[in-house]
Amino acid sequence: MQRRHFLELVGGAGALSLTRPMSALAAPHDLWTPSRTRTPFHIPPVLSANDLTLTARAHSINVAPGVKAEAWSIGDGPLCPTIRMRAGDTTRVRFENMLPEPSILHWHGILAPEAADGHPRLAVGTGASYQYSFPVINRAGTYWYHAHPHGRTGVQVYRGMAGLLFVDDGAEDMLGLPPEHRELPVIVQDKRLNADGTFAFEPGMHEQMEGYFGDTPYVNGVRRPFMSVDTTTYRLRVVNASTSRILRLEFSNKMPMTLIGSDGGLLPQPATLTSIDVATGERADLLVDFSKIPVGQRLMLRSADFTSPTRLMTADDMKGMPAMSGPGPKGMAMNGMGAGAMSGLGMNHAAGGGIQQGTALDLVEFEVAHAVTPEPWRSVPLPRVAMLNPALAAKSRSFTFSSRQMRHTINGRAFEMDRVDETVKFGTHEAWTFINDSPFAHPVHMHAVQFQILERTGGRARLFPWESGWKDTVLLHPGERVSVLAAFDKYRGRFLLHCHNMVHEDMGMMMNFDIV
C-alpha cells in the first residue's frame, strides 16, 4: 500500500522545476540519492468488463505534486486504464474520440481481425466513435494498447494515449504468481513539459532522424514515483511506451530479477537476470523478490547507461541535415567526418532538448517498508511453448530499414496508406528477415502475428533470454539482421509492419501486408 506520509513536499510546484539545467543532466551515474520528495506510485485503474466504452479526451492531470500538465488519455489519469481480458472471452469496445484530432486504438500484440486492429486508415475524427469486437485468443501475457493514427501516433502516445492490456488464462492461474495487489504496472516514457503545462513534441531536424527524447522519465504518467513494498515477491509488468528510448532495466543494488514473460506471454523457462533491455513497444514480465532486503532499505529501478552499437554515419546518410555546432550523441561513431558534417548530430543538445539515448535514468524508487510472512514465489515450470519449425516456412522475405537524407524507409519506400507492399498466403508460415542498414536503432513490430526469433547476425550477433518466447517487437541495433518465423494463420486482412520508434513510424517507416 502507498504510504503518503513518506511524501514530504519541499515547497510545492516550484521545487520540481519545470526546466532542469543541463548540468543536472550531465552526470549519468548516481543521479539518485534517497529522497522523501517523490510522487506516490500511480496505478492506473483496471477495467475488466467484456463491454467497454473508452472515451479519449484532453484534460488536466498532475504529473508530480502540484505540477499540472495537459494529458490526452482515456479516463481521468495521465495514461489510459489497464484492461484485463480473459482468454476465450469476447471483448467489445466502443472507442469515442473526443480528442481535438483523428485517432484510433490499436491492441499491440493482440491477435485481432483486420477491422479490430486499429489500422490508421480506420482513424475517426473528433466526436466520432469506432466499435471493436474480437475474441481473446492470445496466450496470457502483458500486452498494451495505444493510439495509432498515421503521422500522429508519437504525439498521442506521448501525451497519454497508451495503457496496459493483460490477458489472463487458466495456465497462468496455475503458477501461483503474486496476487493482483502485488502486481505493478510499469509504463515507462520520457517527456518534456513546457512551462504552460503542455507536453512539448516538436522533433527538430536531428530528432527526426534519431528519435525524440524527453528530459524527464515518467512511470505510469508521473515523475519520480515512490513505492513502499513488503518483504516478498512482486510482479512488475513493464512496457516501454517511450517515443524512441531504449531501456536497460536494472536495480540499483544489481539484485537479480526473474523474467517470466516478454511480448507474447510466458517464456519457455524463467531467466534470472540483473539487467534487461526493453525497446519501445517491448514488454518485460518480471518477478522481483524483496524478501532479502532489510526493512527500511531503499532501492531504485532504473535504466542503466549503455552504448548503442553503431554503424558509421556516412556523408550520404546526413544529406539534408543542417550543420550546427554541438557534440555528437554518445556512441555515435563518426570516423572520418569533418567537424561541420558531424555537428548536425548534436542538435538536440544544442537546442537544450532531451537526455540522449543510452543515458542512465532513475525510474521507480522502492522502499522495503513492511516485513510480511508470505513466502516469496518459487520457480515452477512454465507452460510449454510450442516452437515453430523453420523447415515449414513456405517463403522468406527480407526488409531493409534505412534512415538517410531525412527519410525513414523499408525496402526503400515510405508508408502509403493504401499501397499493399507484401501479400502473404493465409495459413502459411514465413521467415522474415529484418536488416538495419542505418546508423540508428529500430525496434521492428509486426501486427497480426506473434513471431519466434531465429537468429541475429551483425552487431550484438546473438539472441537474449528476453527474446526466447513469442515476440511481436524485436530490437535491431545498427548493422544487425534478425530473422523471425511467423504463422499467418489467424485472420485474413490488411496489417502493418513498422518500426516502433514512433518518430520513424510517423515519418513512414511502415508498410502494409495483406494476408489473403
**Binding residues among 276-315 for ligand C2O as defined by CB under 6 A:** 281
Nearer to Cu ion, 270 or 281 (CB): 281
Beta bridge partners of 261: 266, 285
CA 365 – CA 240 distance, rounded (Å) = 18
Tell me which stretch binds ligand C2O (CB under 6 A): 123-131, 220-228, 248-256, 493-501.
493-501
Taking CB positions, which residue lies at the least distance from ligand C2O? 108
Mark residues 425-454: x for contact with Cu ion by CB under 5 A, - for none. -----------------x----x-------
- Give me the least distance between CB of 447 and Cu ion, in Å please: 5
DSSP 291: T
494 binds ligand C2O (CB under 6 A): no
382-389 contacts, C-beta under 8 A, 24 or more apart: 382/175, 382/260, 382/266, 382/267, 382/268, 382/269, 382/270, 383/171, 383/172, 383/266, 384/268, 385/266, 385/267, 385/268, 385/469, 385/470, 387/452, 388/429, 388/452, 388/485, 388/486, 388/487, 389/429
Partner interacting with residue 302 (select from Cu ion, ligand C2O, none; CB below 5-8 Å by kind): none
> What residues contact residue 289 under an 8 Å CB cut-off, 6+ apart?
232, 233, 255, 258, 376, 377
State the DSSP H helix or E strand holding residue 153, giving kind and residue range, or none if neither: helix 153-159
- Cα angle value 285/287/292 (rounded, 5°): 160
Nearest partner of 140 among 112, 165, 164, 168, judged by Cα? 168
- Give me the least distance between CB of 157 and ligand C2O, in Å please: 8
Nearer to ligand C2O, 157 or 332 (CB): 157
Q: Give, in order, the Cα–Cα distances in Å from 17 to each of 195, 218, 251, 382.
A: 10, 15, 26, 46
CA 289 – CA 214 distance, rounded (Å) = 31
148 binds ligand C2O (CB under 6 A): yes
Mark residues 447-486: x for contact with ligand C2O by CB under 6 A, - for none. x---------------------------------------
Partner interacting with residue 504 (select from ligand C2O, Cu ion, none; CB below 5-8 Å by kind): Cu ion
CA 393 – CA 391 distance, rounded (Å) = 6
**Binding residues among 118-147 for ligand C2O as defined by CB under 6 A:** 146
501 binds Cu ion (CB under 5 A): yes
Nearest partner of 233 among 189, 285, 188, judged by Cα? 285
Pairing assessment for the beta strands 90-98 and 442-446 based on DSSP bridges:
unpaired
DSSP 20: -
- Please select the residue that binds ligand C2O; options are 132, 498, 503, 508, rule is CB under 6 A: 498
Partner interacting with residue 501 (select from Cu ion, ligand C2O, none; CB below 5-8 Å by kind): Cu ion
Nearest partner of 343 among 364, 319, 327, judged by Cα? 327
Tell me which stretch binds Cu ion (CB under 5 A): 44-52, 95-103, 106-114, 132-140.
106-114
CA 498 – CA 512 distance, rounded (Å) = 9
496 binds ligand C2O (CB under 6 A): yes
Nearer to ligand C2O, 281 or 346 (CB): 281
- Please select the residue that binds ligand C2O; options are 38, 42, 108, 298, rule is CB under 6 A: 108
- Please select the residue that binds ligand C2O; options are 38, 42, 106, 311, rule is CB under 6 A: 106
445 binds ligand C2O (CB under 6 A): yes
- Give me the least distance between CB of 445 and ligand C2O, in Å please: 5
- Cα angle value 57/59/61 (rounded, 5°): 135
- Give me the least distance between CB of 399 and Cu ion, in Å please: 12
Tell me which stretch binds ligand C2O (CB under 6 A): 301-309, 349-357, 362-370, 494-502.
494-502
- Give me the least distance between CB of 171 and Cu ion, in Å please: 23
Site residues for Cu ion per CB under 5 A: 108, 442, 447, 499, 501, 504
Site residues for ligand C2O per CB under 6 A: 106, 108, 146, 148, 281, 445, 447, 496, 498, 500
